[in-house]
Structure 1
Amino acid sequence: MMGIKYRKGDVRMHSKFMENEFIKQIPILIGLGMFSLLTSISGSSTNLALPKISEDLKITNGQSTWIIQIGLIVSAITFVLFGRLGDSISKTFIFTNGGIIFLVGSLITGMALDFPIIMLGRAIQSLGVAMIMANSLGIVSQYFSNETRGEALAIISMFISIGAISGPALGGIILSFTSWRWIYLFNIPLGIIIIFFSRKQLAVPKVPLKTLSNEIKSINWFGELTFAVGLTLFFLSGVYFQKGLNFFVVGLTFLIIGTVIAFAAFFQDRKFHDSLISNELVKNADYLLSISILLVVMLVNSMSNILLPFYLQSYGGISPFVSGLLLMVQSLTMLIISPISGYISDHWNRYDLTIIGLLVLLISQVGYVMYPRNINLLIVSIPIIVNGIRLGLFLSPNNAIIMGVVDESLSGVAGSLTSFARTLGVTIGISFSSILLFVQLPHVQRITPALGQKFMNAFVSVFVVATVISAVVLVAVIFRRIQNKNAI
């Protein structure tokens, strides 16, 4: 710890004690991780099911994308709300009940016979996801000390990576042998087991109905609803941007209006007597910088996630199966690196580890810039692997820094804002990269190999921008490190 000197024997005893405490808490990590795994599998396999859902429910492919969008919007809108309720009532109470709501939503989605019902099911499912994600980091802070928090967060990241890897594979098996509905119905028996296990491991209090009612009444509902409107318009802008230049003005209008309304909601909340976001967090420069860096990192990461399928499939003619395997390598690499990174972050300076992670991010973006016109799978795979290393190196120590600089009483809101920053970064990255690509390809409705160098010039230009963004973030983190020389 900063400013404290231990004798060699004291250090060994302290390390042994922390190791024993960590081992005792492993069942809690399994409960948290299994829910993260389940929600990750459900999310990553939904994309694969959209064509079958469109066919079965007799809806257009455009309509089917709203099955994804509704989940993103509902979760983002309610992250902070459920984080605040976790702090004021109980994180474990909100978390475990979020699991129940997730299963109810999965049941409705799996049984849906038309488009409105599947949208309702996905909205309810996403409420559950928000309740889970908003409080999982806070629960880690509640049960794990600063000395072991990095390793604990890394293990949860491993579960998420496993979900991202196995989701498409499991979804593919289900779609090959049975109905898409089982992608959602599969959650129910497994989720029930996880809920019983989690409730046994976590200290879940019995919250009186009156207490719950009073807390809900005390929420700044006007600010929350205003924020919901602003964020919905913000997310909708991305939908229009991805339709091409013909919808650019509509997308830009939605983006500007949505951003203004969302900021207005934030300032309205600051004046509310019991604001959702505590003044302590708003004034915590280290916390704000850390979640801002996370947002930008996820923005850059989503740029490659959205553009690589265009490069590999639409331009390069590679099959979706091979393309999927290549992109899966990133999650697999992260799965391998995360536990190593988590262990190191508990025994080394976390700020230095995030700097290394961001340096690797910069290298991966340079690798994308150097992609050849004629696809070479070996050259293509190297930046993808490097980016997976970056995710593993950066996320666990940065999350540990985020949760380590806030008071435990605020860990629910702090964790929920972290989840919100990740989601917002992904959304902005998708819209931003789509705009940058298609603004260089006017009148192009579909990317094909015939575009040749014209596509490659546009593709490379997007990653030049991503490289510049990565360099700016790296400089910001180095500056933070200089300001916190003695931080752990």
Structure 2
Amino acid sequence: MLVVMIGVLISAVDGTIVVLALPAIEEDLKITLSSVTWVVVGYLLVVTVLSTQLGRFGDMFGRVRMYKAGFLVFTVGSVLCAVAWNAPSIIGARVVQGVGAALIAANSGAIISELYPPQERGRAYGYNAFGFSFGSVLGVLAGGVMVTYVSWQWIFWVNVPIGIVALVLAHRVLRDTAERQSRKFDFAGMITLGLGLFGVLWAMTGLASGPLDGTLIGYLVGGIVLLVAFVVVELKQQEPTLDLSLFRIPTMTPSLLASLLQGVGSFAVLFLVIMYLQGTRGMDPIDASLLLLPGYVIGAVVGPYAGKLTDKLGSVVPATMGLGISVVAMAIFAQQTATSSLWLTAIGNLVMMIGGSFFFPANSTAVMKAAPPERLGIASGVLRTFSSIGMVFSFTTAMLVASHSIPRNLAFAIFVGTNKLDGDLASAFAHGLKAAFYTMMGIMILAAILSALRGTGRKARA
């Protein structure tokens, strides 16, 4: 379990630590605002497209073997990020990191399902939630310190010793016990999904920083067409990238959709809060990270207890309660102004982290309990894919909504921390952030409704 938690931890560290380093990366490498955004979006896109296919690798060649390969690839990618010299090199290195992260994420859930009986998986996923929260704590704190006092390269160098230790421990502790299964790869599905998401994301990113033009419309329409083609392709594949037959399982559909919407509604929150603290309030990275630290600490502590509650009550109540708590957090964040107390931000982040600690173990347990034993790897990968799709669109949706109050190019610059605001412009941008948080709040409410629907069936306690 410790080895699995390290995998979650290193992924969480990378997710939060990069946010605080975006301005420094842009300035040092002399890259454009849109390029620095793809440092985040490119990583998430690779994880999204590859999760199910690499979970299939686990079924074929052993989940532990692929899990260890994930650590190795992620560590190599971190080294490449640290030595990057321009936009293509840093984005390419992040793509390599994304492959490693996808290998880790796609197989970790299946490993837990093999290690623990169904009645104890909630506690196990609770420990996973602890690893995620603790990793987020390290990412926020270490990111603030390194960017402020050392250099942005060290946010990637720090992954190297963690990855090596995890690789050694995994080699010594974990063993493959499940039978190997023959799987086919869905190249047509991967290509249409990847290019479709890329087209839509490229258009949304461009629209957040500039006016709508024919090129952006072309990317948007092309992306949508490819996503429709992806669904058609999947319906005809024997072993698709997204196994749509999983949606025939009553508990699976609301669980996966809740995961997607939770990703849309929550992933960009850290970006929005950092944008508010560094842009509207003019804080340095280290001060912003220290303000958010208590929420991540409390979230890490709550995770294992929320997992035990899932084992006791089933998934519906803890998952829905977690989403409801997240709705409250969005309402708190939406009250922020250019002059409001910073305690409001700290409390909002605390509530947000507690909500996530309840949702993740409960929802993961629901998916893995509902999945047939011979398809645990596929189910784990599908869950990660839906969550990742939500995260990718969370980032771009937040930018589009938040940028409506001031010129898009200026909002985009503030979003990655390269500009600070004063006076009336700060107040106007804070109003834009309010709209973004209310949008995320609405998405979270929809996710909570879907989560609660699991309680209407005969397998409500799954």
TM-score calculated relative to the size of structure 1: 0.83
| 1:479 matched residue in structure 2 | 453
Q: Secondary structure at the match of 2:273?
A: helix
CA distance in 2, matches of 1:480, 1:86: 29
| 1:15 matched residue in structure 2 | none
- Letter of the 1:328 partner, please give it: L
CA distance in 2, matches of 1:250, 1:166: 40
1:68-147 → structure 2 map (5 Å cutoff): 68-147=40-119
| 2:327 matched residue in structure 1 | 362
CA distance in 2, matches of 1:346, 1:312: 38
CA distance in 2, matches of 1:389, 1:123: 31
| 1:8 matched residue in structure 2 | none
The answer on 1:155 being equivalent to 2:121 is no
| 1:20 matched residue in structure 2 | none
**Which of 211, 215, 239 does residue 274 from structure 1 map onto?**
239
The answer on 1:300 being equivalent to 2:300 is no
The answer on 1:381 being equivalent to 2:346 is yes
Deviates more, 1:45-54 or 1:292-301: 45-54
Deviation at 1:304, TM superposition (A): 3.0
| 1:9 matched residue in structure 2 | none
Where in structure 1 are there 5+ consecutive unaligned residues?
1-28
1:32-431 → structure 2 map (5 Å cutoff): 32-175=4-147, 179-204=151-176, 218-244=184-210, 246-247=211-212, 251=216, 253-278=218-243, 280-372=245-337, 374-431=339-396
**Considering only aligned residues, what root-mean-square deviation do their CA atoms show, in Å?**
2.9
Say whether the 8 Å CA contact 1:79–1:417 is kept in structure 2: yes
CA distance in 2, matches of 1:112, 1:372: 38
Q: Secondary structure at the match of 1:65?
A: helix
CA distance in 1, matches of 2:285, 2:162: 29
- Letter of the 1:227 partner, please give it: L
Q: 1:448 to 1:287 in 2, by over 3 A?
A: farther
1:351-404 Cα distance to aligned partner (Å, 9 max, x none): 111222222222222223333553112333332222122111111111111111
CA distance in 1, matches of 2:154, 2:119: 41
Deviates more, 1:65-74 or 1:458-467: 458-467
Q: 1:316 to 1:277 in 2, by over 3 A?
A: closer
Q: 1:362 to 1:248 in 2, by over 3 A?
A: farther
CA distance in 2, matches of 1:373, 1:118: 34
Q: 1:235 to 1:87 in 2, by over 3 A?
A: farther
Deviates more, 1:192-201 or 1:181-190: 181-190
Say whether the 8 Å CA contact 2:134–2:300 is kept in structure 1: yes
Deviates more, 1:447-456 or 1:84-93: 447-456
CA distance in 1, matches of 2:149, 2:349: 31
CA distance in 1, matches of 2:337, 2:32: 35
Deviation at 1:274, TM superposition (A): 3.3
Q: Secondary structure at the match of 1:219?
A: coil
Which structure's CA Rg is the greater one?
1
Deviation at 1:179, TM superposition (A): 5.0
Identity, % of aligned pairs?
A: 22
Deviates more, 1:45-54 or 1:362-371: 45-54
Say whether the 8 Å CA contact 1:140–1:149 is kept in structure 2: yes
1:426-465 → structure 2 map (5 Å cutoff): 426-441=391-406, 445-446=410-411, 448-451=422-425, 454-465=428-439
Q: Secondary structure at the match of 1:242?
A: helix
1:295-345 Cα distance to aligned partner (Å, 9 max, x none): 112212134333323433323344443333333333223112111101111
Say whether the 8 Å CA contact 1:34–1:159 is kept in structure 2: yes
Say whether the 8 Å CA contact 1:44–1:167 is kept in structure 2: yes
CA distance in 1, matches of 2:312, 2:455: 17
1:421-450 Cα distance to aligned partner (Å, 9 max, x none): 222212222222222232344577355432
Q: Secondary structure at the match of 1:148?
A: helix
Deviation at 1:454, TM superposition (A): 4.0
Say whether the 8 Å CA contact 2:6–2:166 is kept in structure 1: yes
Say whether the 8 Å CA contact 2:333–2:434 is kept in structure 1: yes
Say whether the 8 Å CA contact 1:315–1:449 is kept in structure 2: no
Deviation at 1:58, TM superposition (A): 4.3
- Letter of the 1:473 partner, please give it: A
Say whether the 8 Å CA contact 2:267–2:391 is kept in structure 1: yes
Q: 1:102 to 1:232 in 2, by over 3 A?
A: same
Say whether the 8 Å CA contact 2:337–2:427 is kept in structure 1: no
Deviation at 1:452, TM superposition (A): 5.9
- Letter of the 1:462 partner, please give it: A
CA distance in 1, matches of 2:18, 2:426: 32
Q: 1:475 to 1:139 in 2, by over 3 A?
A: same
Say whether the 8 Å CA contact 1:79–1:134 is kept in structure 2: yes
1:80-135 Cα distance to aligned partner (Å, 9 max, x none): 11112222332212111111222222233333444433333222221111111111
Q: 1:58 to 1:476 in 2, by over 3 A?
A: closer
Q: 1:416 to 1:313 in 2, by over 3 A?
A: same
Q: 1:115 to 1:196 in 2, by over 3 A?
A: same
Q: 1:183 to 1:376 in 2, by over 3 A?
A: closer
TM-score calculated relative to the size of structure 2: 0.88
- Letter of the 2:132 partner, please give it: I
Say whether the 8 Å CA contact 2:202–2:219 is kept in structure 1: yes
Deviation at 1:175, TM superposition (A): 4.7
Question: How many residues are paired up?
Answer: 453
